[in-house]
Homo-oligomer: A and B are copies of this chain.
């Protein structure tokens, strides 16, 4: 797999390079591949799109899902020029991605000012100790909707 992995990582690096040249956001790129074919590409567009979720990996996942008209990508490999932040890694799980190949590390991103690692540490803390204050409210009302959804004939499990 070595040659193929290198080939696709170089495509992800091209995506990052494009994003830098366009000034769209951070220096990150990603490519999604299944059965040797690119099914999604992305670069960080947080600034360009005014979308804090528009990380390279998210863009690649969303593009692949849109193109393939599926919300799951079993067998897909995600090539990303930097270790995914917890948002993107979680999205990879939700998308049922099989394998992940990355280049730079979370610590490298931290060194140029990105807070991926801080967010991972925040997630590790009990919610009462996080910097975003939390409060719970109306749990029973939400559970009543869960029950309604469970009985719905429009329900699709995913």
Contacts and interface: CB of A to CB of B under 8 A. Distances in A.
Contact of A52 (B91, B146, B148): B91
Interface in A84-111: 85-87, 89-95, 97-105, 108-109, 111
A132 B97 contact: yes
Q: How large is the interface on A (under 10, 10 to 19, 20 to 34, 35 or more residues)?
A: 35 or more
Interface string A99-126: 1111111001101110100111011100
Given A71-B46, A146-B112, A93 B20 contact: no
Contacts of A145: 13, 16-17, 20, 27, 81
A134 B136 CA distance: 36
Nearest to A69: B50
A108 B143 contact: yes
A9 B93 contact: no
Given A108-B146, A143-B108, A71 B52 contact: yes
Interface string A114-158: 010011101110010000111111110111011011101011111
Contacts of A149: 20, 26-27, 112
A87 B81 contact: no
Contacts of A69: 50
A86 B91 CA distance: 9
B53 A94 contact: yes
